[in-house]
Structure 1
Amino acid sequence: MAGISFYTNPMSRGQIVRWMLEEIGEPYDMVLLDYDTSMKAPGYLAVNPMGKVPAIVHAGQTVTEAAAICAYLADAFPAANLAPPPDRRADYYRWLFFAAGPVEAAVTNKALGFVVPEGRERMAGYGTFDQTMNALENAISGPAWICGDQFTAADVYVGAQVDWGLLFGTMPSRPAFEAYAARLRDRPAYRRQKELDNALIAEVQQGGQ
């Protein structure tokens, strides 16, 4: 029995957490959930009252929200070297939470067709979509990773946002975004995650035919 229980659906943000799990290289037990049934069942609502994935249970502790799970796993498994030393975590925390907050909100609102009314930008938190994209570009414009030469959990979470944004057209195609995504896609753990989740997606789609 693995020490990590991973609750997911292949067509969800669970892909982010699987990537992180593949990066740390520890065994995990996967629990596949369906949006309309098992994700709303009492058993899973006891894990996450929101009735959504991903979630993990490790050492008797439950963690939900993909960014929080990435940060938790980096700390729980320090041998994977996916978090900087505490005295060098400024960029790590800054951009991890920036992606979970302003980026997520700005991209979602734009995809839904919501535009912040002029003069109400401060209330929105992220200001405008363009401001958010400019700040994100600044974070990932270096030649390596968010925390310099060290790839971290922040790159998993921020990178997943950029990767999906480019794939689905919810983020603009900028040279810095494309270069960052290309570096991410070369990582063996990223490739394993895609193979595993794409295979599951194919099974789900085939079963629905």
Structure 2
Amino acid sequence: YKAINPMMKVPAIVHGGKTVTECGAICAYLAEAFPDAGLAPLPEERADYYRWMFFAAGPWEQASTNRAMGFNVPSEHSGMAGYGDFERTLATLTSILDDRPHICGDRFTAADIYVGSQIAWGVQFGTIPTTPRLTNYISRGMARPAFQRATEKDDAEMDGYGPETPPANA
């Protein structure tokens, strides 16, 4: 696996002889590589799509990881942290859901897969406070038939593997 991703992080994919790492990059790449899935942004959705994909990969991931590890940026250094503080970052992230069902508006895109998975992970592991707005957003994503199929495949792949026994294709 180190040959695929020297960082030894998952996920990583190899498609068409090219390696793609980082969750947001993989989501964006697959959305463009398989346009019939309808997950790539339409021209009028691109600004929101890229804004929130990069926000989730940068400020949000940094803020939520720091919080999960018990690190809080001292207020006098919040301007240097790249995200301010966790509360501001969470408020910014949840504000996008104030007036729309999905990250880019009315249509589900790869941004919802990536941002939604970040939110769901945080709620599941208690690093994000559960709010009705976030719960509703996560529930809409999890109710999608494609999510159900992916979960079934993932569960079948992981069946029988414990923490000390990685899947054969890892």
2:84 counterpart (127, 135, 158): 127
Q: TM-score, normalised by structure 2?
A: 0.90
Look up the equivalent residue of 2:157 and give its one-letter code.
L
Unpaired runs of at least 5, structure 2: 166-170
Query: Any residues of structure 2 matched to 1:19-168 within 5 Å, and which?
Result: 44-168=1-125
TM-score (norm 1): 0.74
Residue-by-residue CA offset, 1:151-197 (whole Å, 9 max, x unaligned):
10000000001111111111011121111011011011212222222
Deviation per residue, 1:128-166 (Å, 9 max, x gap):
100011001111233421111211000000000111111
Matched residue type, 2:99:
G
Q: Which runs of 4+ in 1 moved over 4 A?
A: none
Which amino acid in structure 2 is aligned with residue 181 of structure 1? I
- Secondary structure of 2:108's aligned partner: coil
Equivalent of 1:189, from 125, 146, 154? 146
2:76 alignment partner, SS class? coil
Query: In the TM superposition, what is the alpha-carbon distance from 1:51 to its structure 2 partner?
Result: 1.6
Determine what percentage of the aligned residue pairs are the same residue.
55
1:112–1:90: structure 2 CA closer, same or farther, 3 Å change rule?
same
CA distance 1:193–1:115, change in 2 (3 Å): same
Task: Tell me, in whole angstroms, the C-alpha distance in 2 between the residues paired with 1:94 and 1:63.
Answer: 20
Aligned residue for 1:176? 133
1:55: Cα distance to partner? 0.8
> Which is further off, 78-87 or 173-182?
78-87
Aligned pairs, how many? 165
Report 1 or 2 for greater relative contact order, CA contacts < 8 Å, sequence distance ≥ 6. 1
Distance 1:207 1:147 in 2: 40
CA RMSD of aligned residues (A): 1.7
* Residue segments in structure 1 that go unaligned for 5+ positions in a row: 1-43
